Chains A and B, each alone.
Chain A
């Protein structure tokens, strides 16, 4: 009897543990680390011929006779039909045969009295290419270590491609954010990558997080919660509604239309009177996965949302959250200011700084 009791106990404990682990795993996914699709597609300059490249001669890229700097094909060389006099060519008859007036090393035959000069050294090019999808015709802003360095426009299919030059080599944090046709700003989505001097790093499969907007932030129980935004065409939006008290999360899904517009109406009779946050992530038809949008707060019931004096860390109210707002935060560091104290705890400190980092636009 004791044996059966012990066996029963073992099975019960094992089942409980596995159940709790499974639930925790789901919660962790919902809270944060959505596995995004963005990744390094190739590193031009590492000497490895990768899928996105035509060639890759490592440190010799860009030099005469080797692959181009961006690995898109062979660079200047003898036999390309162009006379590169800076690299010692005297002729170029589109071949590397000798005995046809232009030798296999692109010298006028007979060979010149003086030997050809050394190949002209080309400056190494260090750059990053960021490509992926935002929303149709969206403005896409690129930040480098917090400052805007490039702006582009996505096409009708929401595709964008941005090139960042003038890099010295090292670890860079690139931020991407988009503005949709209604002027809504996405969260700044960051990627940190190491770019070695002389290399081109291509980061692709990026899907910029969707924009999100609530019609109202205070609702009666049973009232419909209307939420909308924009993403890439026909992507699937996952909406995470989380109770700020119990931390329990409900997930709903909706599909965006051909223009990437999405809208969802949620019946709040299913929710208790409480404070909630809502955020969205997107999955495109091509399988690109975005990280989360901004998390917006709403309340069901009579709880009054305390109005924020400077909502979303825009301390100087210029529509941007950037170095100027950081300077204002530093000025009030350790003191109190009703605007800069974002979490209303009576002091401007690292928590307010963290909230500033979250709303950063550059």
Chain B
């Protein structure tokens, strides 16, 4: 092949890339400027580019001597089930989470009046440091441990492109730092979405003992945690699935979903055994009473029979044969 031909071939390969579809994990805002002390939110979003996916595992890194993570909000997330609750470490400079969408997510619906592709929100705060006396840039990036699975019944890994964010830390410390998260918390007065408690027993889970399962979402600041109460016992923090302490199912079970702003939704479950117990006792008591009554009546009749005059039993006539 001549040099010219090779050049032409390379030119076409450049202008006609044979790239196929890929999902995109990205951050919003992709670039912005902040001052020391500012608290701000970075949204983690997904663009499936028309493909259907149902599971996301994301891990991001940040510069932990410039930024610290104050919290992570699952509020209004596309992921309604979480296999790994969001966790972050300011020591390692990493934040990660994983979860899925039952039934899948195939991208933006035509005519959607809003953006419905939020996975989660990272709440950052810029450190205040005398060393930061000139503007600096820092990046928040997806690590190569991030991946997305297709909604194909096989859990196939999707081709993935990730786009991080470039944050400019400006010099100076403002009198009133930005407080995006604090404002969101103050403005959130809406309780989490309603949900039901499901009581179950399965031989392969908790050795066949009774457990409950529950899950809900919060469309504003996100679920902070759940608490469970059995009967009149103390509320205690819990995750689903939760093994019941009271296996006799005699107590009402309550689950409280609390969002980051402190709003609560309480779901209640009265076990069928608990419902039946009083009725069961009533029936048993009734049977005992009726039975006792019948026995008493029978004995009364027997006593009555024993006091009546008796007829002499008829004598047998014996005839001796005259012996002739």
Contact = CB atoms under 8 A, between A and B. Distances in A.
Q: Is the interface of B mostly helix, strand, loop or mixed?
A: loop
A328 B204 contact: yes
A339 interface: yes
Contact of B153 (A43, A190, A339, A359): A359
Nearest to B201: A316
Given A2-B4, A168-B219, A353-B100, A147 B110 contact: no
Q: Is the interface of A mostly helix, strand, loop or mixed?
A: mixed
Nearest to A17: B16
B12 A17 contact: yes
A139 interface: no
B36 interface: no
Given A327-B213, A343-B155, A357 B112 contact: no
A20 interface: yes
A192 B190 CA distance: 21
Give the contact-size bracket for chain A.
35 or more
Contact of A331 (B52, B151, B205): B205
Interface in A29-86: 32-33, 35-36, 38-41, 43, 46
A230 interface: no
Contacts of B101: 173, 190, 192, 357
A173 B54 contact: no
B150 interface: yes
Contacts of A305: none
Interface string A183-223: 00000111111101001010100000000000000000000
A190 B12 contact: no
A175 B111 contact: no
Contact of A350 (B77, B83, B190): B83
13 contacts: A5-B5, A38-B109, A40-B110, A146-B102, A168-B190, A171-B115, A173-B78, A173-B80, A192-B117, A315-B202, A326-B81, A350-B149, A357-B103
Interface of B: 2, 4-5, 8-9, 12, 16, 18, 20-21, 49-52, 54-55, 57, 75-78, 80-81, 83, 98, 100-107, 109-118, 149-155, 190, 193-196, 198, 200, 202, 204-206, 211, 213-215, 217, 219-220, 240-241
Interface of A: 2, 5-6, 9-10, 13-14, 17, 20-21, 24, 28, 32-33, 35-36, 38-41, 43, 46, 143, 145-147, 166, 168-173, 175, 188-194, 196, 199, 201, 203, 291, 294-295, 315-316, 323-324, 326-328, 330-333, 337, 339, 343, 350-355, 357-360, 362
User: 9 closest A-B pairs (Cβ-Cβ)?
Assistant: A170-B219, A194-B114, A40-B111, A351-B155, A190-B103, A39-B110, A354-B155, A360-B102, A327-B241
